[in-house]
Structure 1
Amino acid sequence: MSITARAVLFHEIGGPDVLSVEEVELPAPGPGEVLVRVEALALNRAEALFRSGGYFYQPTLPGSRNGYEAAGVVEAVGPEVTAFAPGDPVLSAANRELSDHGVYGDLVLLPETALVPRPTGVDAETAAAVWVTYSTAYGALVERAGMRAGDHVLITGASSGVGTAAIQVARRAGAVPVATTRTEAKRRRLLELGAEHVIVTGAEDVVEETRRLTGGRGAEIVLDAIGGAEFAALGAAAVEDGTLISYGWLNEQPILLPMRWPLTVLGYNNFALVGTAEGRRRTAHYIGSGLTDGTLRPVVAEVFDGLDRIQDAHRLMDSNAHTGKIVVRV
Structure 2
Amino acid sequence: MNYQTISITLLILCLPQSEANDEAIRLGLKQVELSKDLNGWKPVTQSKQIRYGEWTTNAPIGQVGTGGGWGNWGTSVVWEDYKTVTSNEFERASLNNGENGLRIQSIEPFVPSNATKYYQEELGSFIISPRIDLSTTTQDSLFFQYKSNTKMNLEIWISKDQDSYWGIWEENPNRFRNHISATVAENDFTQIKINLHDLLIEMGQIFCDNERHDAVINPETNEVYIAFVAYDNAERRLGSDPKMIEIKSIWTSSYYSDGQLQPAPIDPVISFDHKCSSVTISGRVGETYELQTSSDLDDWKTSYSFTLETYFETYPISDFQNTTMRTMFFRLKHKP
TM-score of the superposed pair, with normalisation by structure 1: 0.24
Greater per-residue strand proportion: 2
| Structure with max Cα Rg | 2
Calculate the TM-score normalised by the size of structure 2: 0.24
